[in-house]
Amino acid sequence: MSETLALSVYESRFAKTDKTDAILVVEGKKMHVNKAILSYHSDYFNTLFNSDFKEKSMSEIEIKDVDLWEFAILLSFVHGNTIKPPDSCVEKILELSDRFFLPAVKPYLEQLLINSNLNTLEKIRIAEKYDLKDIFKTEISRFTGNVSIQSIEKDWYWFMLSDNTKVKILSQILRYH
């Protein structure tokens, strides 16, 4: 995505309004947000805004070690005016949802993954890593008798899966033989 487009999308969604009461600063850019909404959806932000930390009284709070665009996508799921991430970005948003304790984001991302063009084994790897039960079940059910075990073992995502997941995939395939 071009930097200009990314900035205009980010600026339109996180501009100051009468509903915003906090400023998060990411990569030097200000994001106007609503404390109550973020606190409701995230234990991280609830602690940040409502505990006795210095950030509670700061007019601007810097969020470090995040990409502005990815962070904007993450917050858009709970803050309104959702930004749909590209398939290649969904795993990073899942990582951020774990980091910032935003579990409400996961069902949306799971649906995006189910409908994405990502490789089935990659989807299973992501589902396993982030405990996405629906996509895990959906993707494993795609393995039928006409799937070659040898072809699966040549996929590099296969080697990233746990032994337990591999057993589930192989059991699914054997059901059809």
Q: What is the mean pLDDT of residues 5-9?
A: 58
- Supply the pLDDT for residue 57: 66
Position 62 pLDDT exceeds 90: yes
Q: How confident is the model at residue 147 (pLDDT cuts 50, 70, 90)?
A: confident
pLDDT of residue 59: 80
pLDDT at 3 over 70: no
For a pLDDT cut of 90, what percent of the chain falls above it? 69
Q: Tell me the pLDDT of the chain averaged across its residues.
A: 89
Each residue's pLDDT tens digit, 75-128: 999 987 888 999 989 999 999 999 999 999 999 999 999 999 999 999 999 999
Assess whether pLDDT exceeds 60 at residue 66: yes
Domains of the chain: 1-115 (3.30.710.10), 118-177 (no CATH)
46-57 residue pLDDT tens? 999 988 866 666
Instruction: Output the CA torsion sign for 100, 104, 106, 108.
Output: negative
**Band of residue 7 on the pLDDT scale cut at 50, 70, 90:** low
The whole-angstrom separation of Cα 122 and Cα 118 is 7
Q: Is there a contact between 96 and 74 (Cβ–Cβ < 8 Å)? A: yes
Distance from C-alpha of 46 to C-alpha of 67, rounded to nearest angstrom:
21
HEC profile for the chain? Answer: CCHHHHHHHHHHHCCCCCCCCEEEEECCEEEEECHHHHHHHCHHHHHHHHCCCHHHHCCCEECCCCCHHHHHHHHHHHHCCCCCCCHHHHHHHHHHHHHCCCHHHHHHHHHHHHCCCCCHHHHHHHHHHHCCHHHHHHHHCCCCCCCCHHHHHCCHHHHHCCHHHHHHHHHHHHCCC
